[in-house]
Amino acid sequence: MIRVGVVGATGYAGAELVRILAGHPGVELRLLTSRQHAGAAFSDIYPAMAGIVDIPCEAYNADAVADRTDVVFFALPHQLPMGLVPELMDRGRRIVDLSADFRFQNADVYERHYQPHTARELLPQAVYGLSEVYRDRIRKADLIGNPGCYPTSVLLPLIPLIREGLLEPRSLIADAKSGVSGAGRSPARATLFCEVAESFKPYKVGAHRHTPEMEEVLTREAGDSIRLTFVPHLVPMSRGMLTTLYGQTKKGVDEAAVKNCLARFYPDSPFVRICPKGRPPDTRNVRGTNYCDIGFYLERGTGRLILMSAIDNLVKGAAGQAVQNMNLMLGLAETEGLTAIPAPL
């Protein structure tokens, strides 16, 4: 039995990790930390878990983490993990970090958008945990920089087409829409019920920190500098992310080419589902699951490709993909612990 811990267990992504890991047949949940709720039972913070996960939340203690776990998930705000991960790595723990701290290969880009990086030496060995795309490298990794939710929703549909060169690299636009849980559980006026209900709006236009993350990956995949126009929007719902991508196809690319490209890329990826023509993805269909549903429409006349993806921002966009990465790292079945059946509503 693999022993796992969650550092930062009471935020939304952390709690979702707890939910998934508590039902994972191959691991044992041995340690939960929470700065704010140290001393409380997890089920006091999340009463839904009464009788299911009643172990206490603890203050972070590196010795305790190193002694009692084999794999550690970090669900902390950016900047904190890079201060804690190096010591655990030295002591042989394997890490899946959900923050941005280990997502960038180029530390300068990270520093331009976040803050000075204090664990640069680990970046070369950190693997970007986009499971379906970097499966082989993830299998051998000890440190995963788990992708952001927006990047997951953008990159899964886009990378197959970029790799095959089907799209004009200067034409890419991602119009993304996220449920409110992406903003986390810290009290904030902007995410109060009364501020969000009956409201739909763009935010951080031209300024979201997921843009450089996506551009680094896309540029690497294209072998050519790629700029992405990215506009995130806030949807009055708790969970779910739907991204609508627009790109100009290269001459001669037709519907079959797109379809085949996606089919070739995702034949053995149980969590990627290609939607049949005429039924676009819907966040509802992936709620609470690790699926990424992908659909597309090629506009005649303009040659413009509309790619659509739906994920649950807390699962495939965070905790679910983190567990999928752990499964890969440990040689478990990729779907283990992730087979929750979606609810009809």
Of 9-17, 81-89, 216-224, 324-332, the segment contacting its own copies by CB under 8 A is 9-17
CA nearest 323: which of 85, 19, 7, 90? 19
Structure tokens at 340: 């929750």
Binding letters toward its own copies, positions 153-172, x by CB under 8 A: -----------------x--
Q: Where are the alpha helices (DSSP H) in 91-168?
A: 107-113, 135-139, 149-163
Q: Using CB under 8 A, which residues numbered 277 to 306 contact its own copies?
A: 279-289, 293, 297, 299, 301-302, 304, 306
Q: Between the CA of residue 275 and those of 131, 262, 317, what are the distances in Å?
A: 20, 11, 19
CB distance 179 to 235 below 8 Å: yes
DSSP-derived 3-state class of residue 3? strand
Measured from the CB atom, the residue of 81 and 281 that comes closer to its own copies is 281
In the bound state with its own copies, the residue whose beta carbon lies nearer, of 65 and 286, is: 286
**Of the candidates 2, 23, 165, 222, which one interacts with its own copies according to CB under 8 A?**
23
Query: Please, which residue, 235 or 261, has the CB nearer to its own copies?
Result: 235
Interacting residue with its own copies among 62, 205, 263, 333 (CB under 8 A) = 205
Contact status: 345 vs its own copies (CB under 8 A): yes
Shortest distance in whole angstroms from residue 73 CB to its own copies: 15
Complex with its own copies: residue 61 or 186, whichever CB lies closer: 186
Q: Per CB under 8 A, does 270 bind its own copies?
A: yes
Q: Is 275 in the site for its own copies (CB under 8 A)?
A: yes
**For its own copies, which residue of 179, 212, 317, 320 counts as binding (CB under 8 A)?**
179
State the Cα–Cα distance between residues 335 and 325, nearest whole angstrom: 10
Classified as helix, coil or strand, 276 is coil
Is residue 41 involved in binding its own copies (CB under 8 A)?
no
Round to whole Å and give the CA distance between 187 and 13: 15
Residue 181 binds its own copies (CB under 8 A): yes
Nearest alpha-carbon partner for 105 in 7, 218, 8, 205: 218
* Interaction between residue 105 and its own copies (CB under 8 A): no
Alpha-carbon gap, residue 151 to 191, rounded angstroms: 22
* Residue 325: partners with Cβ closer than 8 Å, 6 or more residues away: 96, 129, 131, 138, 144, 146
Return the number of the residue (87 or 203) whose C-beta is nearest its own copies: 203
Token pair belonging to 76: 């902390």
CB of 2 to its own copies, least distance (A): 18
DSSP 8-state class, residue 275:
P
Question: Distances in Å between the alpha carbon of 13 and those of 37, 58, 72, 313?
Answer: 16, 17, 14, 9
Q: Nearest distance from residue 81's CB to its own copies, in Å? A: 21
d(CA 171, CA 166): 12
Binders of its own copies among residues 210 to 269 (CB under 8 A) are 227, 229, 231, 233, 235-240, 242, 244, 246
Active site residue 275: no
Q: Which of 149, 194, 261, 275 is catalytic?
A: 149
Number of residues that bind its own copies (CB under 8 A): 84
Q: Which residues pair with 298 in a beta bridge?
A: 305
**Sites for its own copies among residues 313-342 (CB under 8 A):** 339-342
Q: Is 63 in the site for its own copies (CB under 8 A)?
A: no
Please state the separation of Cα 112 from the chain's center in Å.
21
Catalytic residues: 149
